[in-house]
Amino acid sequence: MKIVAFAPACSPLRGSEAGAGWLWARLVASLGETWVITRPRNREAIEAALPGLAERDRLHFVYAEVRGWPKAWRRGKGRSSIDYLLWQPVAAREARRLHEEIGFDLAWHLTFANAWLGSLAGRAGPPFVYGPVGGGVRNPWRLIAGHGLRGAAYEAVRSAGRTAGRYANPLARSAWSRARVILVQNPETRAWLPRRHRAKAVVCPNPILDERFAAQVAAGVAGSRPGEEAATGEKGVPSPDRGAGVALYAGRLVAWKGMFLALRALRDLPGWRLFVCGKGPDAKRLRGLADRFGVADRVTFMGFVPREELLRFMREDADVMLFPSLHDEAGWVVVEAGACGLPVVCIDRGGPPVLGGRGVPVTTISETAGRLAREVARAVRSSRAGLPTAPLAGNRWTLSARVAELTGILKEAGLVPSPAESVA
C-alpha cells in the first residue's frame, strides 16, 4: 500500500503537534510505503533522525512551503491558522503531482488536524483518511467565571471559530464529505460533526508511546519524546515533603487548562501538596488565586522542568495527577502518567477520560472542584490499598498497538485490500 500524508507539523525533536506528527508518520509508514508532505523548517532534524528508524525504507519526506508569506507572521494562534490554510493548496498541488507519478492507495491528513479548519488532502486523488481530528470539545460555560478576562475572551473567539468552521468553512465541509474515514480524538468531536458524517467517524485519539518510551518507563529509566504537556528546562522537581499526599499538574498555564479548579480543589484536600510543572500567560493570575484560596504555602510553581525529572516525579513521588483541562482534545500527558502507573483525575469531557483519566461531572466551580478533591482522595485510597488505579498505558498506546488498531479501522472501511498489503 502506498500512502501520501499531510503533516504540516512534524519533527523528531519537538513536542506538541510536531512530535505527534513524527510518531504518526512512523505509524502510517508501518501500514505502507509513505510520502509525508511537511514544512521545510524541520528538515535537518528529520533527515538526521530518519536513518535510525525501523521504518526508514518506507518513509519519504517531501518539503513544501508557502512563498511570499513572512516567517514572522507564521507564529501565534491566529496567524498560525492562516499560515496553515495558505499551506494547504501548496501541499495539495504537490500531492497531486506525486499521485500522478506514484499512484497512491490512500491520502491521509495527520497534524494540525482541527475538524473546523479542514484539509485539502482529500483532493489529492486517492481515498482519504482524515485525522485524528479534534475541535469538537465545548468549553463548559458554567465555569467561565474562573477563566479571568483574558481566558474568557479567548473562549469567546474560539467558540465563534468553531461555529463559523462548522457552518461556513468550505474547506472543512469538503474534508468531511471526501473522507472515507474520519478519525476523531473524542466522542464530543464525533457528535459535533454534521449528522450525515458521523457514521464514518471513529474515536481514535492520537497519543503514541514508542517502544523505547514504554521500555524505559517499565525499567524505571526516564526519557522520551517531549509531548505538549512536557516541561523542559533546567530546573528539576525536588523530592517533596509528602504530607497527606502529593498531586502533580503538568502542562501549559492557560485558563482553559482548568488550573483554577485544581487550586480550588486543594482547599478540600488538607495537608496535600500540589506541584505545578509548566509555564504560560496565566501563571501570575494562578499565583494570586492560590493566595486567595489560602493554599499558596502548599503549591509549588516549578516552571519548566527537565523531561527526565518530570517522569521520575510521576513514577516515584506523585500520588495522583490532577489534570482538570476543560477542552483538551486528547492530552498525551494522561497517557504518559498512566504508563508510569500514576492515576489521573480530570473532568469528564474531551480526551483525558477517553485516555484513562478518572473524569468528574461539571457543574458549578465549587461543586466541580469538590468532586475533583473527592476523586483525588478516592484514587489515592485505592492506590494505597493496592487496588488498580491506572492502567499501564504502555500496552494500549505503543506504536505497535496503534498500528494494529489502525489496520483494523482501515479494514473495516474497506481501505486495506488484503492482509499482505498491510505491514503491521
**Rounded-to-integer distance, Cα 116 and Cα 135, Å:** 7
Q: Nearest-5° angle of CA 209, CA 210, CA 213?
A: 80
Class of 211-395 in CATH: alpha beta
DSSP string spanning 287-307? HHHHHHHT-GGGEEEEES--H
At 73 the pLDDT is 56
* pLDDT by position in tens, the chain (length 424): 999 999 999 999 877 788 899 999 999 999 999 999 999 999 999 999 999 999 999 999 999 988 876 665 555 555 577 888 889 999 999 999 999 999 999 999 999 878 998 999 999 999 999 999 999 999 999 999 999 999 999 999 999 988 888 888 999 999 999 999 999 999 999 999 999 999 999 999 999 987 667 666 666 544 333 333 433 333 444 555 566 899 999 999 999 999 999 999 999 999 999 999 999 999 999 999 999 999 999 999 999 988 778 888 998 889 999 999 999 999 889 998 988 889 999 999 999 999 988 999 999 999 999 999 999 998 888 766 555 555 555 578 888 899 999 999 999 999 986 544 444 4
Residue spans of the domains in the chain: they are 2-208+398-421, 211-395
Contact criterion met (CB below 8 Å) for 336 and 208: no
At 316 the pLDDT is 87
Cell numbers given for 386 = 493496592
Give CATH for domain 2-208+398-421.
3.40.50.2000
pTM score: 0.87
Cell numbers given for 20 = 505527534
Q: In 3D, which of 311, 230, 241 has the Cα closest to residue 272?
A: 241
At 418 the pLDDT is 53
Evaluate whether 2-208+398-421 and 211-395 have a shared fold: yes
Cell numbers given for 34 = 509513505
